[in-house]
Amino acid sequence: MSEVIQLSVFIANESGRVSEVTKALGEAGINIRGFSVSDTADYGILRLIVDKPAEAHEVLKKAGFTVKETGVICVDLPDHPGGLASVLKIVSEAGVNIEYVYSLIGTYVVLNVAHTGRAMALLKDRPVRIVTQEEIAAG
Amino acid sequence: MGGVDFSRLPLRVGLFGGEPCGERMRAEIERRLHIVATDNYGLTEIIGPGVSGGVRVPLRTPHQRGPFSGRSRRPGDGRDARGRGGGREGELVLTSLTKEAFPVLRYHTHDLTALDRRPCECMRTSVRMRKVRHRTDDMLIVRGVNVYPSQVEDVLLKIEGIAPHYQIVVDREHRMDRMEVRVEVAEEIFSDVMADMVAFTGNVSDRLNGVLGLSVKVTLVEPGTVERTAGKARHVIDNRSTE
């Protein structure tokens, strides 16, 4: 069981900034597996799950972006109604605060919680599969 | 101010001071309050608003009044401007002749103006003072509050993770001054959790408010986006027009 590395990028509220991030990653041969954007009136936070996080970090830093790496949990949900609810319930009922959640391709979702290690332990032996960085890279 | 019919109030004249008042603001006060409004210049150290003030005809010509001797001095020049303010721009330097409790001698206001000793159309013969639009230093007056960019810088430097590049932007929204401080986001303060970012800007804003006594909007911008001229950041952008 391991965390998956998420890259967060600070995005000023200017047209074309998200496009510049994706362009830089595309040109560097980095594949985006999933992302989410959270925004205010003045700026946004772009969160990315990519196949090669270390390289992507370097590429974005060189392009002048403020980038942060965070360990997040990626789980493969049971593909039936209530699948996501069952996972979130395990974590939140244990009193671990979920900061945010977003979906990737297929049945993958990313969770960022207040205590990553604890949440991982809670999800172990439950009918849900934790996705590894290697799987993300493999696609 | 619902329910009040200003045209029926016995108000006739309003002398306004405390912060620079543009001609549009003055005209609007006249129109909405149904009074004659004048713009008044002054300093807390001298008398408050009342060193000079506009008259009815013509309204934009402030008269100096009170027991002061005023001289305009060219900034950076040790000597008085020739002719003691003979229409040339200089720094207004004031001496209060009869004040007993807090007299000042050659008090440098840092305000740039020009003095005119010719009589006014309204028949008054006191010295006329041109409206102050610029200063010899970088002090800003925002909502009547004196703000030095160095105060903002002091607050920002004490906050960990703030890059040395910042920018103060002052503009006017609905006739009211609005001050914004743009701060470049360094990696140390950047978080993937939005609530942390909002808390951070709130904290910076509170600290600026505590020092300046003024509510300030803090905006986070990307590193390298604060305008730089010859490698140095341009710290103040004042978009207010004095018209």
- Residue spans per domain, chain A: 4-69, 72-138
pLDDT at residue B230 in the model: 60
Residue range B155-159: mean pLDDT, rounded: 87
pLDDT at residue B225 in the model: 81
Q: Each residue of A29-60: pLDDT tens digit?
A: 999 999 999 888 889 999 999 999 999 999 99
Quickly state the pLDDT bin for B171 (edges 50, 70, 90). very high
Residue range A23-31: mean pLDDT, rounded: 95
CB contact under 8 A, A10 and B194: no
Q: Is the pLDDT of residue A91 over 50?
A: yes
Q: Nearest residue of B to residue A41 by CA position?
A: B219
Q: How far is B193 from chain A (nearest CA, A)?
A: 7
> What does residue A93 show for φ and ψ, rounded to 5 degrees?
-70, -25
pLDDT at residue B20 in the model: 75
In terms of pLDDT, which residue wins out, B225 or A130? Answer: A130
Quickly state the pLDDT bin for B162 (edges 50, 70, 90). confident
Q: Is the pLDDT of residue A75 over 50?
A: yes
Whole-model pTM: value is: 0.72
Q: Is the pLDDT of residue B73 over 50?
A: yes
Quickly state the pLDDT bin for A100 (edges 50, 70, 90). very high
pLDDT at residue B22 in the model: 76
User: Which value does ipTM take for this structure?
Assistant: 0.81
Q: Is the pLDDT of residue B59 over 50?
A: no
Comparing CB atoms, the residue among A6, A12, A100 nearest residue B221 is A12
For residue B10, whether the previous peptide bond is cis, meaning omega lies within 30 degrees of 0, is no
pLDDT at residue B243 in the model: 53
Please tell me if residue A99 touches chain B, with a CB cutoff of 8 Å.
yes
Of B11-25, B27-41, B198-212, the poorest mean pLDDT is in B11-25
Residue range B54-67: mean pLDDT, rounded: 61
Complete DSSP assignment for chain B: -TT--GGGS---EEEE-SS---HHHHHHHHHHHTSEEEEEEEETTTTEEEEEE--STTTT--EE-SSEEEEEE-TT-SSPPTTTTSS--EEEEEEESS-SSS--SSEEEEEEE-EE-SPPTTS--SPEEPPP-EESS--EEETTEEE-HHHHHHHHHTSTTEEEEEEEEEEEETTEEEEEEEEEE-TTT--SSHHHHHHHHHHHHHHHHHHHSS--EEEEE-TT-S-EETTEE--EEE-----
pLDDT at residue B83 in the model: 42
3-class DSSP assignment, residue A64: coil
Q: How far apart are CA B167 and CA B223, in angstroms?
A: 12
From chain B, the residues in CB contact with A100 under 8 A are: 193
Q: How far apart are CA A69 and CA A9, in angstroms?
A: 9
Phi-psi region of B174 (alpha: psi -120 to 50; beta: other; left: phi over 0): left
Q: Nearest residue of B to residue A38 by CA position?
A: B194
3-class DSSP assignment, residue A133: helix
Phi-psi region of B207 (alpha: psi -120 to 50; beta: other; left: phi over 0): alpha
Q: Each residue of B181-195: pLDDT tens digit?
A: 999 888 888 999 999
From chain A, the residues in CB contact with B198 under 8 A are: 40
Residue range B41-64: mean pLDDT, rounded: 74
Positive or negative, the Cα torsion across B97, B102, B108, B113? negative
pLDDT at residue B81 in the model: 37
For residues B147 and B139, the answer to whether their CB atoms sit within 8 Å is: yes
pLDDT at residue B160 in the model: 78
CB contact under 8 A, A66 and B191: no
The rounded mean pLDDT for chain B is 82
Q: Nearest residue of A to residue B186 by CA position?
A: A66
Q: How far apart are CA A17 and CA A42, in angstroms?
A: 13
Residues of B with CB under 8 A from a CB of A: 185-187, 190-195, 197-198, 219-225
**Radius of gyration of chain A from Cα atoms?**
15
Strand partners, A32: A50
CB contact under 8 A, A68 and B219: no
Pick the CATH number of B6-135 from 3.40.50.300, 3.90.950.20, 3.40.50.12780, 3.40.640.10: 3.40.50.12780
- Residue spans per domain, chain B: 6-135, 140-238
Q: How far is B183 from chain A (nearest CA, A)?
A: 12
CB contact under 8 A, B193 and A112: yes
Return the closest-CA partner of residue A72 out of A17, A136, A139: A136
Q: How far is A84 from chain B (nearest CA, A)?
A: 21
Q: How far is B83 from chain A (nearest CA, A)?
A: 53
From chain A, the residues in CB contact with B225 under 8 A are: 12
Q: Which class would CATH give A4-69?
A: alpha beta
Please tell me the CATH superfamily of domain A72-138, with its number.
VC0802-like (3.30.2130.10)
Which of A18-32, B13-27, B52-66 reaches the highest mean pLDDT?
A18-32
The fold for domain B140-238 equals GMP Synthetase; Chain A, domain 3 (3.30.300)
The 10 Å Cβ neighbour count of residue A11 is 20
Q: Each residue of B122-137: pLDDT tens digit?
A: 788 888 888 888 888 8
Return the closest-CA partner of residue B175 out of B2, B22, B14: B22
Of A64-68, B70-74, B185-189, the poorest mean pLDDT is in B70-74
Domains A4-69 and A72-138 share a fold: yes
- The one-letter code for the residue type at A79 is D
Please tell me if residue A1 touches chain B, with a CB cutoff of 8 Å.
no
For residues B211 and B155, the answer to whether their CB atoms sit within 8 Å is: yes
CB contact under 8 A, B187 and A6: no
Quickly state the pLDDT bin for B229 (edges 50, 70, 90). low
Which A residues in the span 2-41 are in contact with B, Cβ-Cβ below 8 Å? 6, 8, 10-12, 17, 38, 40
Q: Each residue of B19-47: pLDDT tens digit?
A: 777 787 888 889 999 999 988 898 888 88
